[in-house]
Amino acid sequence: MTDRNPAQSTARHARRTRRLGDYTCCIICGFDDLSTLIMVDASRLPRSVLDAHHVVGRVNSDATVPLCPTCHRLLTDGYLDEGISMLSQPTVLHRASAVFRSLAKFCAAFVPGLTRSADDIDALISNLDATSKGWRKFRRPRK
């Protein structure tokens, strides 16, 4: 299928990239297909399907990270399953407890992805060993 209007397509892709800014992938699963990162709801303006996830809860910090809707839902449900409250806490100690529990759950969400990445690198090393015998001799240039 050919692009019927390349100029419109280029403009559309540029708008999509501008809307997404620097956050063009889910930081947990890596979802980054720019052609699908904008959804259109007839009742609203187009918006990114990447959500701004408040790492330790909106009431505790403005710090956000980009997550796809699936990872956002899984992480938020995980907070709720662990009994981590996202509501305002009565004391600074209660708040500290909620923040640390949120951070622990958030960091744990990265473990499967980090393990997959390490496995992928190990597979790449094996492939390079099998197909490019001299690859280990290459060194990063020194500055």
Percent of the chain with pLDDT over 70: 74
Q: How far apart are CA 86 and CA 94, in angstroms?
A: 11
Report field, pTM of the whole predicted structure over 0.85: no
10 against 21, higher pLDDT:
10
Contact assessment for residue 72 and residue 31, using Cβ atoms and an 8 Å cutoff: no
Least confident window among 3-7, 56-60, 121-125 = 3-7
What is the model's pLDDT at position 26?
82
Per DSSP, the residues of 66-135 read EE-HHHHHHHHHHHHHTT---SPPSSHHHHHHHHHHHHHHHHHTTHHHHHHHHHHHHHHHHHHHHH-TTG
Express each pLDDT in 88-119 by its tens digit: 899 999 999 999 999 999 999 888 888 888 99
DSSP assignment letter at 137: G
Confidence of residue 19 (pLDDT cuts 50, 70, 90): low
Domain segments of the chain: what residues? 6-110
The whole-number pLDDT of residue 41 equals: 47
Q: Residue 57: left if φ>0, alpha if ψ -120 to 50, beta else—which one?
A: left
